[in-house]
Amino acid sequence: MTVDATRVLRELYGAELTRHADLYRQSNAHRGSHRCDVYPSDPEAAPLWPVLTALARARRFLEVGCGLGYTAALMASAGGPRSHVDTIEDDPLHADLAERAFARKGLSSRIRVHRGTGRSVLPTLRGPYDVIFLDSDWREYPRYIQHLIRLTRKGSVILTANLSPLFGGWGEDLPGKDKIRSFLTKLIRDRRFRTYILPGEWHALTVRV
Ligand SMILES: C[S@@+](CC[C@H](N)C(=O)[O-])C[C@H]1O[C@@H](n2cnc3c(N)ncnc32)[C@H](O)[C@@H]1O
C-alpha cells in the first residue's frame, strides 16, 4: 500500500498547510496565462516559516523573488503583527498583483514590495534581517553574497531555493549551474556561515555564526 505523504502532513499540520493557499493557487493559475516562472513554494513547506521565525527570533524578513506574494505572506503571518517583510520583485506585473493581494489581506503596512532585480535593490537595503529567503534567478546568487554578509547578524537564517539545476533535479538543462556552484562554494567556505544543503529538496539552509 502506498503512503499518501501529503494526506499525513495535512492530518498533522491542519490549517497550517493551507495558510495563504489562495496565493499559491493564484500563482499557479497566473503562470499558465503569463508564461512566466512564478513557481510558488510548496504548501508542504509552509510550516517551515514558523520554525525559522522561532529559530532566529525573527521580526525582519527579506525575500528576493516575491512572485505573487505567497511566501511573503507566510513570513508576515509567521512573524506576527510586529514583524515586517521586504520583498524584491523584478516583474512589474507580479509586483502589482502581490501588492493587491497584500492590500486584500490587510498586510500592506507590514510587507513592502521593492521593484527591481535583487542585484539592483539589495545594495539599497539596510540590515540586519533575521530571516532571508532567496527565490529568484540563481544566476544572480553569487552577487548576493556580499549583501548576505552586510544584511545579517549572528543567528540570522538564510534559506536559498532554486539550487536544483546543479543537483540534477528540475532545471537540469537550464544554464547557470556554474553560478549555483560558485554561490554554494563561497557560502560553505565562509566561516561566518554554516550551510546545510537539503538533499531532495535542494534548498540550502544557512545560519550566520
Ligand atoms: C519562484 S518565483 C517566486 C515565488 C515566491 N517566492 C513564492 O514562493 O510564492 C520567482 C520570482 O522571482 C522573480 N525574479 C526572477 N529573477 C529575479 C531577480 N533577479 N530579482 C528579483 N526578482 C526576480 C520572478 O519574476 C518571479 O516572480
Kindly report, residue by residue over 175-197, the tens digit of the pLDDT: 999 999 999 999 999 999 999 99
Total domains, the chain: 1
Residue percentage of the chain with pLDDT more than 90: 94
Question: 135 CA distance to ligand 1 centroid (A)?
Answer: 6
Question: Would you state the cell numbers that stand for residue 176, as one nine-digit string?
Answer: 547557470
Exposure string (b/e) for 46-56, b if CB count within 10 Å is 16 or more? Answer: bbbbbebbeeb
Residue nearest (by alpha carbon) to ligand 1 atom 12: 65
Q: Is the CB of 37 under 6 A from ligand 1?
A: yes
Mutation to probe ligand 1, out of 61, 89, 180, 201 (largest number of atoms < 8 A from CB): 89
Average pLDDT score, the chain:
97
| Cα separation, 143 vs 124, whole angstroms | 14
- What's the whole-model pTM score? 0.98
Q: Is the CB of 65 under 6 A from ligand 1?
A: yes
Q: Which CATH number covers residue 136?
A: 3.40.50.150
For 70, the domain range is 5-208
| Cα separation, 55 vs 124, whole angstroms | 27
